[in-house]
Structure 1
C-alpha cells in the first residue's frame, strides 16, 4: 500500500517551550493546504531518526493519526519513508501533549 508523502513545515522545533510550559521533545509542525478540525493548518508530529535535532522542514510519510475524543483536532504522525514506528513509540513521543486529552492512535 502506498503511503501519503507529505512536506511538513516545522513551527515548533525540538526543544520549543509553549505558553503552557510544555517542552517539545520532537519537531512539530503543519501541512500547508490541509485544514484541521480547528480551522487551522493540519498539525503534525514528526517522529524520525532523521529529525532528532531542531529542523525547519521535513518530508516523510503519514503513518498514524491521533484522534482526540475530547477535542476537535486530530494530529498526524509522519516519519521517514524507510522507518517503521510502533504505536508504543508514538505514544511515548507524543504523551507530553496528548496526556491532556483522551487520545487514541490509529496506525495506517
Structure 2
C-alpha cells in the first residue's frame, strides 16, 4: 500500500482560488470561485486520480499550511470572517422602555 499522501495546496487568487493536487507523480491544477467551491473541486479531482483506492490520505494546505487551511475552511463553511467573528448582524430594534408600576412614596 502506498502511504504517500495526496496534497492539495490552495492559493488565493483575488476572489478565486488556485488549487494544485499532487498525487505522487501526477499533478493537476484548477481554479474555483471561493474556498468551499475549491474544496469541492479538489475532492472531485482526487476521486478521478485515485479511482479504486478505498484508503487514501489527503492533506489540504493553504499556502503550504494545513492548520491555516482548516481554519480558513471552517470559517468559510460557517460564514465567519477571517478574524473569527461571525458576520455582521443588523442591530436589534430598540425595545420600548417599560413603565414603572411601583408607587413613589
Q: TM (normalized to structure 2)?
A: 0.29
The structure carrying a bigger helix percent of its residues is 2
Which fold has the larger relative contact order, with Cα–Cα distance below 8 Å and residues 6 or more apart in sequence? 1
**Highest Rg: 1 or 2?**
2
The structure carrying a bigger strand percent of its residues is 1
